[in-house]
């Protein structure tokens, strides 16, 4: 009997340990940092497909979007932040709220689909944003542009979805060199970062967007391969993003995988460990 009681106590202690660990992990993810794996090339070359990073949730405070989402289609798991904290939505406010700055790389919830997106913050509330001949105009003033050479990568399937890159040097076959024009942009607050350009595209010229109060305007650094605030929500784009939909700021890459999964450690890129995000 004593042996059975000891086994029962041991099992109970194991269960409690697992439950406490899960609660601590949930608390860590909800309040401090959220893991994020880059699934697409919309932020090249700042972020590459396969970059794994933690999103700083403390940077802008907390809203309903700070609650964790667990979405694993393969296993039929689809627990959304709104399912847990949706009762806090629609006031567009945050607890311990902080002000995002132009140039921040931000993870946010898509205002319609609820999926997590990562883009660069370009326009603040009240800003007038327009793109003319692929140059951003903020409040009718062009941002500073400098040439930065050519971005090169191999034409091949990338990441878990096997997407192939788009190239400025035309349609190239697998294994060939894919090129894009690379240049630096400097925003009015001095934030400088690189962007990629493929060629003349429809989103290289836009109307003037006036950012509403309590909303933000985002763009991907891979300008010709990004669905962002230049495309209105009614057309499947991001449109203006409410303050409450911000999840946090991306500050640093932890590691990066060039393979189909982050678990394939032999494909990790040696030059991207703990790399700061500019």
- Catalytically active residues are 42, 119
Report how far residue 40's alpha carbon sits from residue 51's, in angstroms, rounded to the nearest whole number.
10
Q: Are the beta carbons of 11 and 232 closer than 8 angstroms?
A: no
């Amino acid at each position: 009997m004593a042996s059975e009681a000891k086994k029962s106590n041991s099992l109970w202690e194991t269960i409690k340990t697992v439950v406490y660990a899960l609660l601590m992990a949930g608390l860590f993810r909800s309040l401090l940092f959220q893991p994020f794996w880059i699934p697409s090339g919309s932020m090249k070359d700042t972020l590459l497909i396969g970059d794994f990073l933690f999103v700083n949730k403390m940077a802008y405070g907390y809203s309903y979007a700070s609650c964790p989402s667990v979405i694993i289609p393969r296993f039929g798991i689809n627990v959304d932040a709104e399912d847990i904290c949706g009762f806090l939505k629609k006031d567009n406010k945050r607890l311990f709220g902080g002000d995002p700055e132009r140039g921040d790389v931000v993870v946010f919830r898509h205002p319609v689909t609820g999926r997590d997106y990562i883009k660069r913050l370009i326009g603040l509330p009240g800003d007038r944003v327009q793109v003319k001949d692929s140059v951003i105009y903020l409040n009718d003033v062009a941002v500073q542009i400098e040439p930065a050479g050519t971005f090169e990568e191999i034409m091949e399937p990338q990441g878990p979805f096997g997407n192939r890159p788009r190239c400025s040097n035309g349609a190239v076959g697998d294994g060939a060199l894919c090129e894009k024009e690379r240049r630096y942009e400097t925003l009015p607050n001095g934030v400088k970062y690189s962007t990629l350009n493929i060629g003349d595209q429809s989103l290289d010229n836009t109307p003037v967007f006036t950012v509403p109060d309590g909303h933000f305007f985002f763009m991907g650094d891979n300008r010709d391969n990004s669905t962002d605030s230049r495309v209105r929500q009614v057309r499947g784009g991001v449109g203006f993003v409410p303050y409450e939909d911000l999840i946090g700021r991306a500050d640093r890459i932890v590691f990066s995988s060039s393979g189909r999964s982050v678990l394939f450690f032999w494909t990790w890129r040696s030059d991207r460990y703990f790399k700061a995000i500019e």
